[in-house]
Chain A
Amino acid sequence: MTFWRFVPLAFRNIRRNRVRSSITLAAIAVGATALLLAGGFFQDTFLRMREGIIHSHLGHVQIFKKGYSQYGAAHPFDYLIQNPAALVSRIENLPNVELVTQRILFSALLSTGENTVAVTAQAIQPGREAQLTVIRNLRHADTGLAILHGENLSEESSFEILLGQGLARSIDAKVGDELVILTNTIGGSLNAFDVTVKGIFASPSKEFDDHGIRIPLETASKLLRTDAVQSLVVLLTETDLTETVRASIEQLASSENWEVEVLAWPELADFYNRVVALYQRQFAVLALIIALIVVLSIFNTMNMAISERTREIGTIMAIGYRRRDVLSIFLLEGLFLGLLGGLLGLVFGQGLGFVLSVSGIPMPPPPGGSVEWKAGIEITRQLLLQAFGMCVLASTLSSIYPAWRASRLVIADALRHT
Chain B
Amino acid sequence: MPLIEARSLSKIYMLGKTEVHALNAVNLTVEKGEFMAIAGPSGSGKTTLLNILGCIEKPTEGSVLFDGKNVAQLSGNQLADFRLNHIGFIFQTFNLIPVLTAIENVEFPLLKMPLSKRERRTRAQEALESVGLGGLAHRKPDELSGGQRQRVAIARALVGRPNIVLADEPTANLDHATGLAVLELMSDLNSRLGTVFVFSTHDPKVMSMARRVISLVDGKIVEETTVP
Contact = CB atoms under 8 A, between A and B. Distances in A.
B84 A319 contact: yes
Given A5-B111, A315-B91, A416-B47, A320 B85 contact: yes
Contacts of B99: 9, 12-13, 15-16
Contact of B112 (A9, A12, A320): A320
Contacts of A412: 48, 51, 56-57
Interface in B82-100: 82-85, 87-89, 91, 93, 95, 97-100
A316 B82 CA distance: 14
A306 B157 CA distance: 24
Q: State the majority secondary structure of interface residues on A.
A: helix
Nearest to B76: A323
B77 interface: yes
30 contacts: A2-B111, A5-B111, A6-B111, A9-B100, A16-B98, A16-B99, A311-B95, A312-B95, A312-B97, A316-B97, A316-B108, A318-B83, A318-B89, A319-B83, A319-B109, A320-B81, A320-B83, A320-B84, A320-B85, A320-B112, A321-B112, A322-B77, A323-B77, A323-B80, A324-B77, A325-B112, A411-B56, A412-B56, A415-B56, A415-B95
Interface residues of A, number: 25
A15 to B, nearest CB: 7
A264 B95 CA distance: 70
B151 interface: no
B91 A415 contact: yes
A13 B47 CA distance: 29
A9 B97 contact: yes
Interface string B38-51: 00000000011001
A179 interface: no
A317 interface: yes
A289 B157 CA distance: 48
B57 A317 contact: no
Interface of A: 2, 5-6, 9, 12-13, 15-16, 311-312, 315-325, 411-412, 415-416
A319 B76 contact: no
Contact of B54 (A6, A15, A318): A318
Contacts of A320: 80-85, 87, 109, 112, 160
B56 A319 contact: no
Interface in B60-114: 76-77, 80-85, 87-89, 91, 93, 95, 97-100, 108-109, 111-112
A234 B193 CA distance: 89
B19 to A, nearest CB: 17
Contact of B108 (A13, A319, A324): A319
Interface in B105-159: 108-109, 111-112, 156-157
Contacts of B160: 320
Contacts of B157: 319
A2 B112 contact: yes
